[in-house]
Amino acid sequence: MASKYSDIMTYATMDMRYLNFEPNTFDIVIDKSTLDVLFTTEKSMWNISEPTLTQFDLTLNCIKNVLKPSGRFISITFAEPYFRKRLYYKYFNTIKVSSFGEGFHYYFYSCTNLDNLKQ
């Protein structure tokens, strides 16, 4: 992809827990099931282990840091709202959820900090 679209896009490879971008760089950050990887060792979403929560917090701190104050975080995942929204509310005060699909549902979370938009 980099060779095909280098004139319009820049590609970077890095650990999602340690993003190497300047603060307030992006208008939008999109997660397509990448965060789900952090939960693969969990036996139950009702009782998430501290190591997993630590990795999740590292990642969301990075995402929030690289977003502009008016930025939006979009997450597309199989994780049901009851489990995921409570984690996102630590970082964002406005979370809208939509679902799509049949059988298994994908959930589309659109997260912002409306307090930042008022400034």
- What are the pLDDT tens digits along the chain (119 aa)? 788 888 888 888 999 999 999 999 999 999 999 999 999 999 999 999 999 999 999 999 999 999 999 899 999 999 999 999 999 999 999 999 999 988 888 999 999 986 665 54
45: its two tokens = 């979403």
Per the structure, the complete domain to which residue 77 belongs is given by 2-117
Q: How many domains, in total, are found in the chain? A: 1
CATH number at residue 85: 3.40.50.150
First and final CA of the chain: distance in angstroms?
A: 38
Bridge partner list, 96: 110
pTM of the predicted model, to two decimals?
A: 0.87
